[in-house]
Structure 1
Amino acid sequence: MRKPKILVLGAGYAGMMTTKKLSQQLRPDEADITLVNKHNYHYLTTWLHEVAAGTATPNSSRVMISDVVNTKRVQLHFDSVVEIKKDEQRVILENGELSYDYLVIALGFETATFGIPGIKEHALKIENINSSRYIRDHIEFQFARYSSSDEKNEDALNILVGGAGFTGIEFVGELAKRVPELCKEYNVPREKVRIINVEAAPNILPGFDEELVEYAQKSLEERGVEFRIGTKIQKCTEEGFIVGDDHEEIKAGTVVWTGGVQANPVVQQSGFELVKGKVNVDGDLRVPGHDNLFIIGDCSWVMDKENDRPYPANAQSAIQEAETCASNLTSLLRNEDLQDFSFDYKGTVASLGGADAMGTILDDKKLYGMKAKAMKNIIDDRYLFLVGGPKLVLKKGKVKFF
């Protein structure tokens, strides 16, 4: 009797954890599991702002998939997904195709531009290791060019960041740490460099507690970050942003957009209906009308029926969705009842660069400063433990044990 084929597309937080759980829950005779990913490594998306700012190396946020996935239970297939033919149960890849009986789409995100002209063409984005490394190199190049040039263009030293959500704030926090180091290295006066964060909403970190937002903004401003809050970006050009009703131009040598995410374009190109950039899935994480097809992570919305809104789309949610997805796939194969996803909020901590952070944990207990930073490191290391055990924590972890 032929074993069912389970195909997992994407090795981000959701895809990796689903694969890991499936290999632990299913017996070898119950299913063949294949994980498809563009690269042979998994990267920690929530660490990429550090790579982009230059406060962490690209390798620190990269984990080789074969180091943490049981290759005796999971077949690894490194290729790019071109199209999903859901009615034929086939996935077209750049270098071939694969068939499946059960499919998990966890292809991650692309940056959402919200229709702002020029963002796609001119702004840099923190999307993956390569794009983050490029931002780091681009910033340093501006310093090197300024330092060695006879004609000093001070606008070129400006770093302009669009969006003051979680990624944007963590990024400017790391910049506040990195810029003084670059100034010292290239003999550039610190006052010549501006870090400017532009946000259309009336405050930074929409959705965060007011006291935490106030703390974060004060901390960052004291370290040289300028905020333009309640300021709409009208257009992005090669030279910077055009903002506000008066169309003010803010020039910068480095322009980074962190405004939001939407599903990988392959999802829409494969005929799935998107709502605000993602696919609405049922409570059990399956696509309506397709009992063998799950979409999780940044590609989907899962409704919180109690509050009549989607659950937050973040790493914490993706990891929990993966557990439900793997459990439901196991139940499908064993003809057992499926469960609906329920998000267990464990708190959120945002790094502000260096030893500073702020956020809430568990019963909304607020943390600030070094205590919050220590908790942020513990949260990051917890994921490493979940995906790779103590060995990976010792190798890549942020909490130092000796």
Structure 2
Amino acid sequence: MSSIPKIVILGAGYGGVLTSLRLQKELNYNEADVTLVNKHDYHYITTHLHMPAAGTDNPENARVNISKLIDEFKIDFVKSTVVQIRPQDRKVILEDGTLSYDYLIIGLGGEPETFGIPGMVEHAFNIRSINSVRLIREHIEYQFARFKREPHRTDYLTFVIGGAGFTGIEFIGELADRIPELCKQFDVDQSLVKIINIEAAPTALPGFDPELVEYAMQVLQKKGVTFRIGTAVKECTADGVIVGEGEEIKSQTVIWTGGVRGNRLIEEAGIETMRGRVKVDEFLRAPGHENVYVLGDNSLVFNPDGGRPYPPTAQIAMQQGVNCAHNLVASIRNQPLKPFVFSNKGAVASLGKGEAIGVAFGKKYKGRTAAWLKKAIDLRYLFIIGGIPLVLRKGKFL
């Protein structure tokens, strides 16, 4: 190892940002060289993307410039795309150069998991970045404009959302709020618009309390959403989706929120994965690579009680970032590492303006109280990464 260890962090998502912020706080000057690599010069708040996707908020409000978060005297920021990870050489190949490392943190974010459903990659939209949500928002508006020219084409006004997990449900809530506004703007009869949510699992929001799921579905049904629960999407085509036993639902807008898998670069690096995600050890390291930590959507952490993996949420990625930074500092100082233990603070799912469901501190919340709770969680995150100035700048938009 060189005299000053080199730490390279790939990805400025929740895990990467929290690792960077903790390292800049805990490391002394000249104790390590820390480099953060990200393909954009901003961090985006993934849990906020469903709003700009539906057009109920500006995409700018979901992003924070990395230069506003990190201390450039302590962390080098490199704006570039990772092309290859070479653990055997301790190198990362970027599109415009190479970085060598002593410790590597992989937090590159996930890719949509389409479960091999034909046509999904080619024809469906995904809510996964600032650019993808801009595209969805413009596409939805364009469908209303197209309908005005071809009023027989009701498939322009049929919106199919695949997956009734967090992202799907939160997006549907916002879209249902936006529809009346679009109908007014384009002078379209609202009864012609359909929002259809298709979920293969036997329930929406799997893992959520059944009473709250029931409440969420009632709220969204009142807003005009049709649920097709326990129905699998068999194929996605240019004209819509084929579901169940061959039934076709015609739609020009299919948005797939059915799951996340890890980043293909990890598999290509020869690191052992399950559906693209790495089953990390108790210290969040990749098996067989003591100097490689894997966080967020790329990692697989199993619940010690039920033996199932935790879903990849912002909450777990943030806690992983804090733990990872602690262990990096401990490694550099030859101190013992601390195992990662996930502390589940609960979860809140928004259902559109002023409506949400949630479980926090062992209690159930719904309606306006849950919506306030969601806002408090978002504000707390802004405070953690950017302090009061960021809360004042962005808080009013959440």
TM-score (norm 1): 0.97
1:20 is aligned to 21
Displacement, 1:72?
Answer: 1.1
Q: Deviations over 1:87-134 (max 9, x none)?
A: 100000001110011110000011000111111111011110101110
Check if 1:30 corresponds to 2:28.
Answer: no
Check if 1:114 corresponds to 2:106.
Answer: no
**Residue 296 of structure 1 contacts residue 322 of structure 1 at CA under 8 Å; is this kept in 2?**
yes
Q: Secondary structure at the match of 1:397?
A: helix
Displacement, 1:307?
Answer: 3.0
Check if 1:155 corresponds to 2:155.
Answer: yes
1:97 is aligned to 98
Check if 1:260 corresponds to 2:259.
Answer: yes
Check if 1:380 corresponds to 2:378.
Answer: yes
Displacement, 1:287?
Answer: 1.2
Task: Out of 304-313 and 343-352, give the one that drifted further.
Answer: 304-313
Instruction: Tell me the distance in 2 between the aligned counterparts of 1:277 and 1:174.
Output: 30
Check if 1:236 corresponds to 2:217.
Answer: no
Q: Secondary structure at the match of 1:170?
A: helix
**Residue 377 of structure 1 contacts residue 399 of structure 1 at CA under 8 Å; is this kept in 2?**
no
Instruction: Tell me the distance in 1 between the aligned counterparts of 2:288 and 2:267.
Output: 16
Instruction: Tell me the distance in 1 between the aligned counterparts of 2:157 and 2:355.
Output: 25
* Cα 1:150–1:331 shift into 2, 3 Å: closer
The amino acid of 1:237's aligned partner reads: T
1:370 is aligned to 368
1:248 is aligned to 247
**Residue 146 of structure 2 contacts residue 156 of structure 2 at CA under 8 Å; is this kept in 1?**
no
Q: Secondary structure at the match of 1:71?
A: coil
The amino acid of 1:9's aligned partner reads: L
Displacement, 1:306?
Answer: 3.5
Q: Which runs of 5+ in 1 are unaligned?
A: none
**Residue 124 of structure 2 contacts residue 255 of structure 2 at CA under 8 Å; is this kept in 1?**
yes
Instruction: Tell me the distance in 2 between the aligned counterparts of 1:302 and 1:367.
Output: 27
Give matches, 1:2-401, under 5 Å.
2-147=3-148, 149-245=149-245, 247-363=246-362, 365-398=363-396
How many residue pairs get matched? Answer: 397
Instruction: Tell me the distance in 2 between the aligned counterparts of 1:271 and 1:51.
Output: 37
Instruction: Tell me the distance in 2 between the aligned counterparts of 1:119 and 1:236.
Output: 5
Displacement, 1:151?
Answer: 4.5
Q: Which runs of 5+ in 2 are unaligned?
A: none
The amino acid of 2:231's aligned partner reads: T
Q: Deviations over 1:344-365 (max 9, x none)?
A: 11110100001110111112x1
Q: Secondary structure at the match of 1:310?
A: coil
Q: Deviations over 1:206-258 (max 9, x none)?
A: 1110100000000000010000111111111011110002x100011211000
Percent of aligned pairs sharing the same letter: 52
Instruction: Tell me the distance in 2 between the aligned counterparts of 1:350 and 1:398.
Output: 19
The amino acid of 2:375's aligned partner reads: N
Instruction: Tell me the distance in 1 between the aligned counterparts of 2:30 and 2:91.
Output: 22
Displacement, 1:311?
Answer: 2.5
Q: Secondary structure at the match of 1:34?
A: strand
Instruction: Tell me the distance in 2 between the aligned counterparts of 1:232 and 1:277.
Output: 22
Instruction: Tell me the distance in 1 between the aligned counterparts of 2:150 and 2:322.
Output: 58
Q: Secondary structure at the match of 2:248?
A: strand
Q: Secondary structure at the match of 1:87?
A: helix
